[in-house]
Amino acid sequence: MNKSSIFYTITFIFIFAGVSVILGFLWLIEYDQQNYTRELNTKYSLIANARLLNFAGVISEKEFEEQTKNYNKMDEITEAKQIRKILFRGDVLARVEVNNGLIEIISYNRQVYLNIIYDGKVYLYKDQDYQTYRYFIIKAIAVAMICILVLLYIYIFKKLKPLKRLKKQIDKFAQGKLSDIEDVSTGVDEISQVSEAFYQAIVQIRKLNQSRQFFLRNIMHELKTPITKGLLTLEMIEDNKYKERLNGVFTRLEILINEFAAIEQITSGAAFINRKKYNILDVLDEAKEIAMRDDSNIRIFMEESFFVNVDFKLFTTAIKNMIDNGIKHSED
């Protein structure tokens, strides 16, 4: 893909946006998880400290409940077998040693427990309000945004795709292939309107070319008829200097008409250019001959002959025109 192409630019922008979204959500997950962990630690620390103060008799049970009223009640686990299983198999997330005790946050079977050891006695509480960190929600939002970006990219790419088809038609126009140009408009948006306007312009150019070709062919036909009649009439005249002059005039007119026809075919794209290698001297001699000029006015200076790869008829006509212009506009 061409780096200067608008499609390359759009693709790069969407890839950059997609990578940015992914990195942004990875950072968000890390940041949000840290905040969530801090909130849990603050909650458990407050509850554990209040319970230790309650055990020590510093505050009453009512005062304990008052201090922890903003948090849901944590149920105490009293069954010894269950306590041993949780303490043995659970993962200790955090541990803090305090006077006459120990505070632990334990994760077991996707649940979090607060373990308080005071004066050698174990108090285990289950957090009924605990919910595992919801990676799924953030991941779902990230996936949804990526999907939206992909769909938006496909939509924009589809909307701009007619530009490629329009460019192909413009390339055909630049190559002169008017007959191969197609209407590529597919909707009513601005690109389709430009495509439709371009195609209508091509239709008008085709009509103008057809009218021009028809007009030129009619003119050439009308000119050739009197020239042919003139040449036939000359055959009936006795040889004299006037006949020779008239014959030269009619012959030159016929050559000009033939040149005109060749040029018309070239410009209309109907002619086939037959390139071959020719000696430049042969080309110049032919140009001198069809120029029908006095040889004394045309001199060729060339140190060394060489070959040219050209269409003989068209190239000699071009050289002849240069000779004509040189003679017409020369001072002598």
58-76 per-position pLDDT tens digit:
788 788 777 777 766 677 7
Give residue limits of the domains in the chain: 6-136, 176-271, 272-332
Which whole number is the average pLDDT over 271-283?
77
What pairing do the DSSP bridges indicate for beta strands 101-108 and 111-118?
antiparallel
Q: What is the mean pLDDT of the chain?
A: 78
- Give the pLDDT of residue 271: 55
Please tell me the distance from the alpha carbon of residue 47 to that of residue 68, in angstroms, as a whole number: 6
What pairing do the DSSP bridges indicate for beta strands 101-108 and 91-98?
antiparallel
Burial label, 113 (beta-carbon count in 10 A; 0-12, 13-18, 19+): buried
Please tell me the distance from the alpha carbon of residue 5 to that of residue 24, in angstroms, as a whole number: 28
Tell me the two tokens of residue 240: 């004299």
b/e code 43-64 from CB counts within 10 Å (16+ = b): bbeebbebbbebbeeebeeeeb
Report yes or no: 278 and 310 within 8 Å, Cβ to Cβ: yes
Which whole number is the average pLDDT over 130-137?
66
Pick the CATH number of 176-271 from 1.10.287, 1.10.3470, 3.90.1420, 3.40.50: 1.10.287
Query: How far from chain centre, in Å, is Cα 215?
Result: 44
- Give the pLDDT of residue 211: 83
Confidence of residue 134 (pLDDT cuts 50, 70, 90): low
Q: Which residue has the tokens 């801090």?
A: 38
- Give the pLDDT of residue 313: 76
Percent of the chain with pLDDT over 90: 0
Report yes or no: 307 and 277 within 8 Å, Cβ to Cβ: yes
